[in-house]
Amino acid sequence: MKQYAYYPGCSLESLGKNYHISALEVSRELGLELKELEDWNCCGATAYFPVDELLAYTLVSRNLAIAEKSGLQDFVAPCSACYKNAYFTNSYLQKDADLAEHINYALEADNLHVNGTMKVRHLIEVFIEDVGIEEIQKKVSNPLKGLRVAPYYGCQLVRPRKAKEDVENPQYFEGLLSALGAEPIEYASKTRCCGGSLIITNRKAALDMVHKLLQDAVKNNANVIATTCPMCNVNVEVYQSQVNREFGTDFSIPVMYFTQLMGIALGIEPKRIGVGASMLSLAQSTVS
């Protein structure tokens, strides 16, 4: 069983709990073990950078250092913001010796040392690259036939650019959904932003962004929106009713973590992946 250093991030302990449990269940089903980092801290999301970027890198480095100490090779984050922060901090540690030295001076205070040797990955990448689409497809016992899913990548999963990957029109999420038997829809908003923390700092702007996303997904006949990030999930799910009030719309499209859809397709008991009855009937009604 391949093991991964797993960094759940703060959201997965509260509103993103269903993401957490479904990530663990699906991983186990696919023969992967996510080992949660001991005593991890918050990565800071987007909030440190307006104050002190060096502090942001240091706090992220503490998690990377704890992961390195575990002897595992891969640092896996299910949250797009955590993933982006860990990915870039790790690469700056490799490139900037002065930065690494200064951060290590700070990490000494917790008896840690960071080298920047982890391979930082998002959970969806691990499933697609390490297990493989074909292998996943083989394990599907309950194909999501006829379920039209809007794959919602959001922003920080795909941006900023890391290497030469397609940041405008990625396709791997669609590939995964097809393997589950679902029908990924095409729509222009798949990599548009959900508003992120603007939901708190500029509610009007964020609701507008969520509104546009919902409109696009519904117009293209999606039955469900699948997310890869707890922030996206909260903004699109919880704030749907507020969008309706604000814009006079009547959206009621379910929003699920991609791991929950995987869990259903793999035949995992719904309650173990945080899927309620209404969600399940949706998935099943389209099957029949």
Residue (238 or 287) nearer to other proteins, CB: 238
Residue (90 or 127) nearer to other proteins, CB: 90
Closest separation between CB of residue 209 and other proteins, Å?
5
Closest separation between CB of residue 52 and other proteins, Å?
3
Closest separation between CB of residue 15 and other proteins, Å?
5
Closest separation between CB of residue 83 and other proteins, Å?
13
Residue (41 or 70) nearer to other proteins, CB: 41
Cite the DSSP H helix spans in the chain.
17-29, 53-69, 80-95, 97-107, 123-126, 133-139, 172-179, 198-201, 203-219, 230-238, 240-247, 258-265, 277-287
Residue (188 or 287) nearer to other proteins, CB: 188
Closest separation between CB of residue 80 and other proteins, Å?
10
Minimal CA–CA distance to 114: which of 127, 126, 101?
101
Residues 218-235, buried b or exposed e (16+ Cβ, 10 A)? beeebbbbbbbbbbbbbb
Residue (1 or 109) nearer to other proteins, CB: 109
Residues 6+ apart with CB under 8 A from 161: 167
3-state helix, strand, coil in the chain (%, to 5): 55, 10, 35
Residues in contact with other proteins by the rule CB under 8 A: 10-11, 13-15, 17, 39-42, 44-55, 58-59, 62, 98-99, 101-102, 105-111, 155-156, 159-161, 167-168, 191-193, 195-202, 204-206, 208-209, 212, 234, 237-242, 276
Distance from C-alpha of 77 to C-alpha of 124, rounded to nearest angstrom:
9
Residue (131 or 155) nearer to other proteins, CB: 155
Closest separation between CB of residue 78 and other proteins, Å?
16
Instruction: Name the token pair of 121.
Output: 């990955």
Give the burial class of 96: count Cβ atoms within 10 A of its Cβ; 0-12 exposed, 13-18 middle, 19 or more buried: middle
